[in-house]
Amino acid sequence: MDEEGDKVPQRIMLGIESSCDDTSIAVLRGSQFVAQFTAAQHIHAKYGGVVPEFASRAHQRHILPVLHGVLEQAGLTLDDLDGVAYTRGPGLHGSLLVGSAFARSLAWSRSLPLWPVHHMRAHVLAHWISDANPPSGPMMALTVSGGHTQLVDVRSPWDLVVVGTTLDDAAGEAFDKVAKMIGLPYPGGPHVDRLAKEGNPEAFAFAAPRMDGLDFSFSGLKTSVLRTLERDGREAMEREGWQADVCASLQQTIVEMLVSRLEQAADQYGRTAIAIQGGVSANSGLRNAVQELGERRGWSVHIPPFKYCTDNGAMIAMAGQFAAMKGAEGALSDGPRPRWPMVSDQT
């Protein structure tokens, strides 16, 4: 399927991502990365999680400077653009509204075609950006982020089928909420990953829920961590390095849950290529485990560069390129869709 990336017309696509708390805009020429500019929001750390109203206000402040920044990086002007892609959903309503209104206004003012993009599909399609080791055939892809955990059977860039999902919390939520339990700053995932390298993954035995089929559940794992800390916490907290041990044990448990399901899904659907994507795909433990799985089974492995893991404009631009190839142009009246189910043949 890497040839699909080679066939992408050399249009200059602007991609606008604003589904949560990062304002990110990128430019692609065909499948070639040109530039990306991202403004992160740090105010949410004070509250231990994303505050939707603050997020949408920050997008309003950031989006125009981010656009100017990416065009300057790319050495382009608005006159050079051939199309505008933007995240229509899913995500926080206020954040999506800012990005979609800006994208639609920009497209209208410059008479540019407009391509509304599904955020979760875009995470998968990031693998087709030319410097992301594009796949050469069908693959089983694991999307792991703060709000989503999905197994996706990737048959082509236009045919993505969700075959497993979380029934409650996402893996990223489990990382963040346990991090908060043990006093780590928000967002907790990167701090857990860092401390896990210093800890003993066998120090704590956390219960991992057993699910039928290919679905996930992480709510019970959080409860197991909480009960373990309540039972052993006082004694454990007197021991140097206890936080690192909790992080190492938590990360090992989550990674094993994710990778075992990925292997099961690949076997079930007969795939010999596997992939991970989404914010949690930046986790070093998960990246290493997926690489090891690929080596053990003789499968090809696709892991995106870090700049395509978290929410980013480049993946939106890539999804816009494929939507344009399909002719799935959006309308100026298309409003945001905070809850937007992912189906096989949408853009």
How do residues 216-243 score in pLDDT, each as one tens digit?
999 999 999 999 888 876 666 667 789 9
Higher pLDDT, 146 or 212: 212
Residue 342 belongs to some domain of the structure: no
Q: Read off the pLDDT of each residue in 128-148 and give the average, rounded to a whole number.
A: 93
Kindly report the CATH number assigned to the domain that includes residue 317: 3.30.420.40
Note whether 17 and 126 are same-domain residues: yes
Note whether 126 and 151 are same-domain residues: no
Q: Give percent of the chain with pLDDT exceeding 90.
A: 80
pLDDT, position 234: 62
Residue 186 belongs to some domain of the structure: yes
Residue 60 belongs to some domain of the structure: yes
Question: Would you tell me how many other CB atoms lie within 10 Å of the CB of residue 235?
Answer: 9
Note whether 149 and 260 are same-domain residues: yes
Average pLDDT taken over every residue of the chain: 93
Q: Read off the pLDDT of each residue in 72-84 and give the average, rounded to a whole number.
A: 98
Note whether 108 and 144 are same-domain residues: no
pLDDT, position 151: 98
Confidence of residue 209 (pLDDT cuts 50, 70, 90): confident
pLDDT, position 229: 85
Q: Give percent of the chain with pLDDT exceeding 70.
A: 95
Q: By the 8 A CB rule, do 36 and 77 touch? A: no
pLDDT, position 250: 97
- What range defines the domain where residue 163 resides? 139-302
What's at 327, amino acid-wise?
G
Phi/psi at 131 (nearest 5 deg)? -95, 20
Report the side by side order of strands in the sheet with 273-277. 159-165, 149-156, 139-144, 273-277, 300-302
Label each residue of the chain as H, E or C.
CHHHHHCCCCCEEEEEECCCCEEEEEEEECCEEEEEEEEECCHHHHHCCCCHHHHHHHHHHHHHHHHHHHHHHHCCCHHHCCEEEEEEECCCHHHHHHHHHHHHHHHHHHCCCEEEEEHHHHHHHHHHCHHHCCCCCCEEEEEECCCCEEEEEEEECCEEEEEEEECCCCHHHHHHHHHHHCCCCCCHHHHHHHHHCCCCCCCCCCCCCCCCCCCECCHHHHHHHHHHHHHHHHHHHCCCCHHHHHHHHHHHHHHHHHHHHHHHHHHHHCCCEEEEECHHHHCHHHHHHHHHHHHHHCCEEECCCHHHCCCCHHHHHHHHHHHHHHCCCCCCCCCCCCCCCCCCCCC
Note whether 290 and 311 are same-domain residues: no
Note whether 295 and 311 are same-domain residues: no
Note whether 80 and 44 are same-domain residues: yes
Q: Cα–Cα distance between 7 and 121 in angstroms, integer?
A: 19
Dump pLDDT digits (tens) for 162-179: 999 999 989 999 999 999
Question: Would you say residue 195 has pLDDT above 90?
Answer: yes
pLDDT, position 200: 94
Dihedral sign for Cα 172, 337, 9, 313, please.
negative
Question: Would you say residue 42 has pLDDT above 80?
Answer: no
Note whether 92 and 217 are same-domain residues: no
